[in-house]
Amino acid sequence: MAKSVFYHAGCSVCLSAEQDILNLIGASNVEVVNLGEDKSKIPQAEKAGVKSVPALLTPNGHVLHINFGASMADVKG
Amino acid sequence: MAKSVFYHAGCSVCLSAEQDILNLIGASNVEVVNLGEDKSKIPQAEKAGVKSVPALLTPNGHVLHINFGASMADVKG
């Protein structure tokens, strides 16, 4: 299976959701990207359709926005 | 692994998210509950912490609210 990508920004709700997602889908099936630490990946995330974090980009290109942690505007600072 | 519960209300964003979740986690690991069709399960969902649908209740009791389809108030009609 192609990997999913879990985008987050290090906020507490993100980290809690990250653990849940890794438990459910399996850590080996998910690439975790911290947009707070690696801001160079923000354009790529936005292009994929990420509107807020935490969000899970599925292998088929859908974006599941999980809870509502921080808007992309907040991540950009 | 204990089953997760995917709560939804039949809206299009719910059904799209349901397919993604079933693909990612595996259909056998998820119980799907349509609160629009089975309103008797709404109190149970609310007690678990479901604020909007679609939402995924994980085996450890966390609720991941996915996207924003419809508020619980809307589902109750």
CB < 8 Å to B64, chain A: 17, 20-21, 66-67
Instruction: Tell me, yes or no, if B51 comes closer than 8 A to chain A by beta carbon.
Output: no
- How far apart (Å, rounded) are the C-alpha atoms in residues B25 and A73? 30
Structure tokens at B76: 């109750």
* ipTM (interface pTM): 0.77
Considering only residues B71 and A36, tell me which one the structure prediction assigns the higher pLDDT.
A36
Collect all residues with Cβ–Cβ distance below 8 Å to B61 and sequence separation of at least 6: B48, B49
How many C-beta atoms surround the C-beta of residue A71 within 10 A? 12
Residue pLDDT, tens place only, B2-57: 899 999 988 777 888 899 999 999 999 999 999 999 999 999 999 999 888 889 99
Given this model, what pLDDT does residue B77 score? 67
Q: What is the pLDDT of residue A71?
A: 61
A7, A55 contact by CB (below 8 A): yes
Give the pTM.
0.82
Q: Is A28 on the interface with B (CB under 8 A)?
A: no
Domains and CATH numbers, chain B: 4-76 (3.40.30.10)
Whether A75 has a pLDDT exceeding 70, the answer reads no
**Which of A19-33, A54-68, B6-20, B63-77 has the highest average model confidence (pLDDT)?**
A19-33
And the tokens for A41? 């990946």
| Structure-block tokens of residue A18 | 């990250």
For A14-51, write each residue's pLDDT tens digit. Answer: 888 899 999 999 999 999 999 989 999 999 999 999 88
Which of A20, A58, A66 is nearest residue B24 as measured by Cβ atoms?
Answer: A58
At a CB cut-off of 8 Å and minimum separation 6, what does A56 contact?
Answer: A4, A5, A6, A7, A21, A30, A63, A64, A66, B24
